Amino acid sequence: MKNFSTVGARLTIACLISSAMVSGAHAMTCDFRPNAPDQHVVVKGDTLWGIAGRFLDQPWCWPQVWGMNKEEISNPHWIYPGQIVYFDRKEGRLRLGTPIGGTAGNPSDWRLQPQVRMEGLGKDAVKSIPNGLIEPFLSQPLIIENDELKNAPRIIAAPEGHVFLGKDEKAYVRGDLKEGTSFQVFRPGKPLKDPETQAVIGQEAFYLGMLKLVAPAAPGSEVHTFIVATAKEEMGKGDLLMQMPPSPMNHFVPHPPERQVNAAVVAIYGGVAHAGQNQVVSVNRGKLDGLDVGSVLQLYHRGKTVTDPGASKGWHNMGDPKVKLPDEQVGSLFIFRVFKHISYGLIMQVTEPVEVGDVAKSPE
């Protein structure tokens, strides 16, 4: 394969995939890697992020350099194993196709065969990111915002002689089911505080399992009868119920946030002090702050405040001896689940461990 020449190495694009996608965003650059290959044959297990990383310094730029509009990149059924991603150097784009005639090593000789797929084959389509890393976070609450705790149904009793409940055992529940029949059971954990304001913005939730409704409360009674469908952990009296969320979205399109976002890392999943690549963190911004599924943020270590010894001695009229150092970029964060004021993100690339309080903001 040929290495990418310096001619046309920089493709300057707008943050927008289309003008409707992001309003008021500033221009940014998506740089092709100096050693970008001519092509890549898609194989099972590939991700769009990983494929784009072979060609681009910033893999999340792939929707732009593929030259697709917002509707096209929202369609998950467009790239499959066996297809070829090739670098159109003349146009500064990545393109997709199957060579018919010519040689695989010479994209200029290719004719592109239209790719026709039936809807049922969508399960084979290449995913944007490794779904296995985030699946538990797509179907379980894990973060409960304060208003969601109000009037939640709760387990009030177990069968006689039982302290905790396991699979296939009955559970007695009190509360408004809002016509729901399938519920997740959780136990509230520690409060989550905004690193900047110290205000409580949510609560961690420990997922315990699922309950299925067997018999709603009879007239004159407030007690519903459930059965434990699955039990990840033992559940019991006082544990709370939430209705099952809608089926998770399995295809994610990376893009800048709709507006400028300045966030901070609230917590690292698992209660550890540091996070690396492919670990999940939460940030103190959500859908009401301009984040949505697929938003990409840059991660920074917050610059420390230091004392300038020269200024403290009055040298050179340097002013305040306390000076804040610049924030240092350490990685990128892919937002995959969004609540009102909190979001989950997967660390995609990192050069140093991420800590609670680190900065997460819109790409520059």
Residue (of 243, 224, 125, 131) closest to 174 by Cα position? 224
Q: How many domains are there within the chain?
A: 3
Domain match, 188 and 85 both: no
- The CATH number of the domain holding residue 329 is 2.40.30
Residue range 57-106, pLDDT digits in tens: 887 777 777 765 555 555 545 678 888 888 888 888 888 765 544 444 45
Tell whether 1 is covered by a domain.
no
Of residues 145 and 336, more confidently modeled: 336
Residues 298 and 340 grouped into a single domain: yes
% the chain with pLDDT above 90: 26
The residue-averaged pLDDT of 183-197 equals: 86
Query: Are 235 and 162 contained in the same domain?
Result: yes
> Could you tell me which residue, 315 or 169, shows the higher pLDDT?
169
Provide the residue range defining the domain that includes 149. Answer: 142-243
In a domain, 254, yes or no: no
Residues 125 and 116: beta-carbon distance below 8 Å: no
Same domain? For 160 and 190 the reply is yes
Same domain, 111 and 183: no
Cα 173–chain centre separation: 34
Same domain for 157 and 197: yes
pLDDT reported for residue 146: 67
pLDDT for position 100: 43
Is the separation of the CB atoms in 231 and 166 below 8 Å? yes
User: Mean per-residue pLDDT for 279-288?
Assistant: 92
Highest mean pLDDT among 85-94, 111-120, 230-239: 230-239
pLDDT number for residue 164:
87
- Shared domain for 286 and 323, answered yes or no, is yes
> Quick one: 151 and 79 in the same domain?
no
Q: Which amino acid is at 201?
A: I
Give the number of other CB atoms < 10 A from CB of residue 113: 11
Residue 221 and residue 193 in one domain: yes
**Of 189, 210, 243, which closes a domain?**
243
Nearest alpha carbon to residue 67 among 108, 14, 107, 120: 14
From the list 44, 28, 33, the residue with the least C-alpha distance to 4 is 33
Neighbouring residues of 124: CB distance < 8 A, sequence distance ≥ 6: 80, 81
| Long-range contacts (CB closer than 8 Å, 24 or more residues apart) made by 211-214 | 211/171, 211/173, 211/182, 211/183, 211/184, 211/185, 211/241, 212/181, 212/182, 213/177, 213/180, 213/181, 213/182, 213/183, 214/170
Q: Is the pLDDT of residue 130 over 60?
A: yes
Q: Identify residue 203 by its one-letter amino acid code.
A: Q
- Residue 210 domain-assigned? yes
251 falls within a domain: no
Residue 50 dihedral angles phi and psi, to the nearest 5°: -65, -40
The pLDDT value recorded for residue 157 is: 92
* 328 plus 290 within the same structural domain: yes
pLDDT of residue 191: 84
Q: Which of 102, 128, 154 is the last residue of a domain?
A: 128
- Asked which of 105, 128, 151 is the last residue of a domain, the reply is 128
Residues 281 and 354 grouped into a single domain: yes
Distance CA 34, CA 306 (A): 37
- pLDDT at residue 330 in the model: 92
Range in 58-72, 117-131, 313-327, 335-349 with the lowest mean pLDDT: 117-131
Q: Are 284 and 196 in contact (CB under 8 A)?
A: yes
Q: Which residues contact 305 (CB under 8 A, 6 or more apart)?
A: 322, 323, 324, 325
151 and 104: one domain? no
User: Considering only 134-138, 211-215, 216-220, which range has the smallest mean pLDDT?
Assistant: 134-138
In the chain, the N- to C-terminal Cα span, in Å, equals 32
Of 145-149, 246-250, 296-300, give the range with the top mean pLDDT. Answer: 296-300
* C-alpha–C-alpha distance, residues 247 and 198, integer Å: 33
Any domain includes 42: yes
Strand segments (E) across 216-303: 223-231, 235-236, 240-243, 262-268, 274-275, 280-283, 296-301
- Residue 102 falls within a domain, yes or no? yes
**Joined tokens for residue 301:** 């270590």
pLDDT, position 147: 67
The per-residue pLDDT of the chain, averaged, comes to 77
What SS3 class is residue 355? strand
pLDDT of 119 > 60? The answer is: no
Q: List, in sequence order, the alpha helices (H) in the chain.
A: 48-55, 62-65, 70-73, 135-139, 309-312
The string of DSSP letters for 280-305 reads EEEES--GGGT--TTBEEEEEEPPPE
- Distance in angstroms (rounded) separating the CA atoms of residues 166 and 169: 6
User: Is there a domain that residue 89 lies in?
Assistant: yes
- Whether 214 maps to a domain, the answer reads yes
Contacts of 247 (CB under 8 A, 6+ apart): none
Q: Which two tokens stand for residue 350?
A: 């990192």
